Structure 1
């Protein structure tokens, strides 16, 4: 797991020397472990080192929570995308961050750096703030304890201001992000909730700040999130 976890976003392959540098594991041990992992197709030999194998991709598609959520959300995300032609995200919480489990790239919007399987801080993203507003209190406490780092001039880094914004999100049912994670980008998000009202995921629409009107798209995003929530509840066993 240490070797597999050494791969990061953008790493198509890693050399033996780089794996040693990142993990601290002795090179002979790395070679032995890689040989075993290769037998299971967890890694593959490449021209200049090693890359992750298809077996990991196959296993990832079997994760129950991700698979069920993506299946329930698929028609709603597609409708949002076709109606707006902006980038659409589906994300879930993981500690102080969010993980994107689905992304539909907009046809006319900015090139958003997010990716399926990628992470972002919860406090400065639309989906993250929706998850914080409708999540358990300890989620917000954990975020504050980790610190609020300024990513752009508009990132909210004062705990009191962030807490007040989460209160407004709970009242309106939608979260807005205006250039808080990336300059020039705005998004509107809404939570996907379980029967108790706790956010288990969030969806968003993202586009250029000078063109995307969050208030215009907020009702559609909120309606889609409610639709996904209802679909998930119907699929839960009695």
Structure 2
């Protein structure tokens, strides 16, 4: 048993070190040791191993930061999660035509997970990033996933207490179920400051021609760029979502 426990502790410490660096940016070994609660010698060893393997870089002041090598791991993980998707050109066209940030997300239990994000012009304080997730009662991609995805909305609400992100977040079961009905009726939803104050989005489902839900697509940006332009933006998002679903390689 001891032979199993030792590598487990090493992996636990290594994960904590990576997450600590990802959260705080560059740290010295003493700073990392304090942050994740390990002895200083252990922090020096972990950071040395990360630098030696190219997973981190050491700065002139001795601090260590994660390297860009992690980006390739993230890209591969996201590609594995969406083997059916090969149309980044459609996302680029949507971004260029709307000048807004484009999101593609896929369903996971009680969440929607971002697998693609293409930055548009303007606001750069959007909450969702590749690999990040949102609950299903907020945001363009979240609410679309609740309306069209595999999870039953009433079961979701029974198992999940809706978190309130802003004063505009949908919070009660009646409000959320009414939003599901409206989203299904018009085939898109409008997120109006329900995740981040000052930010809006328009989302639509990505469906196969047979109606299978693959994911959610949205454009997001400053509220002033969304509210008052919902119909026009919805047309762009729906057109792109239909084409992604039509060309999905299942």
Same fold (TM over 0.5): yes
Match of 1:35 in 2: 48
Structure 1 residue 130: deviation in Å? Answer: 1.3
Bigger Rg, structure 1 or 2: 2
- In the superposition, relative to structure 1, how do residues 24 and 199 fare at CA in structure 2: closer, same or farther (>3 Å)? farther
Determine the structure 2 residue equivalent to 1:103: 117
Question: What's the TM-score once normalised by structure 1's chain length?
Answer: 0.81
The offset of 1:30, in angstroms, is 2.5
SS of residue matched to 1:132: helix
For these two proteins, the number of residue pairs brought into alignment is: 231
Q: Which runs of 5+ in 1 are unaligned?
A: none
Q: After superposition, where does 1:80-229 map in structure 2 within 5 Å?
A: 80-107=94-121, 109-114=122-127, 116-117=129-130, 119-122=132-135, 123-137=137-151, 141=155, 145-193=159-207, 197-212=211-226, 213-229=229-245
Partners of 1:7 and 1:139 in 2: CA distance: 37
Contact 1:96 1:143 (8 Å CA) reproduced: no
Distance across 2 between alignment mates of 1:184 and 1:148: 21
Aligned-pair distance for 1:180? 0.5
1:7 counterpart SS class:
helix
Give the TM-score, by structure 2 length.
0.77
Question: Which secondary structure does the structure 2 equivalent of 1:6 belong to?
Answer: helix
Matched-pair contact (CA < 8 Å) for 1:136–1:198: no
Q: Please name the residue that 2:20 is paired with.
A: 6
Q: Indicate the RMSD between aligned Cα atoms, in angstroms.
A: 2.8
Quickly say closer, same or farther: Cα 1:16–1:98, change in 2 above 3 A.
Answer: farther
Alignment check: 8 A CA contact 2:96 2:120 kept: no
In the alignment, the residues of structure 2 paired with residue 164 and residue 195 of structure 1 have an alpha-carbon distance, to the nearest angstrom, of 26
Contact residue 100 and residue 114 of structure 1 kept, 8 A: no
SS at match of 2:86: helix
